[in-house]
Amino acid sequence: MNLTLLEDVLNHIHNWFDRESSVFSDVEISGGSMPDSVSEYVGETFYRIQGSYLNDGVHRSGEESDALRDETVPRCMVSKLAIPRPLLEIVDEIEAWEEQYGEGAKGPYFSERFGGYEYQIRGFSSYGVSGSPLAGWRLAFANQLSPWRKMY
């Protein structure tokens, strides 16, 4: 799973699914992993680091591709995240959608092809207005993400 995309989705819906948070002092991150005290606290879950210079964001324990950068953090908050499985499945769908349509949705031109006819327009398509923050997957998956959205 693409953790950067997951973080972007959670930020977009304003819902981090925090279940428990704890503040740690003098955290020494080395060798791509957290110290034992933090790792035991986190367990086998998604977690979010806040207050670090190099490692802020969403991470998953035991994920080799998500190695942390070495640093000493004087004080940081680590939150356990309880992200529902249906939302994780939506994020997987968004990832597949991004691979197929993502580049086309970012550009200023949109093209459509059917029955031997092809045309290109500038500006608006079913993926949103070019350059708009609601373009791309945010608009394409708005209905599916709506139930998970927090409004504050």
Residues 91 and 76 grouped into a single domain: no
Question: What is the pLDDT confidence band of residue 126, given thresholds at 50, 70 and 90?
Answer: low
d(CA 12, CA 105): 17
Mean pLDDT over residues 82-104, rounded? 90
Mean pLDDT over residues 96-113, rounded? 73
Nearest-Å Rg of the Cα atoms of the chain is: 19
SS3 content of the chain, % helix, strand, coil (to 5): 35, 35, 30
Q: For residue 50, what are the β-bridge partners?
A: 77
Tell me, yes or no, whether 10 lies in a domain: no
Question: According to the model, what pLDDT value does residue 48 have?
Answer: 96
Domain span at residue 112 reads 85-148
Residue with tokens 């503040």: 23
Question: According to the model, what pLDDT value does residue 68 have?
Answer: 92
Q: Is the pTM for the entire model greater than 0.85?
A: no
Q: How many domains does the chain have?
A: 2
81, 103, 125: which is the final residue of a domain?
A: 81
Residue with tokens 């197929």: 100
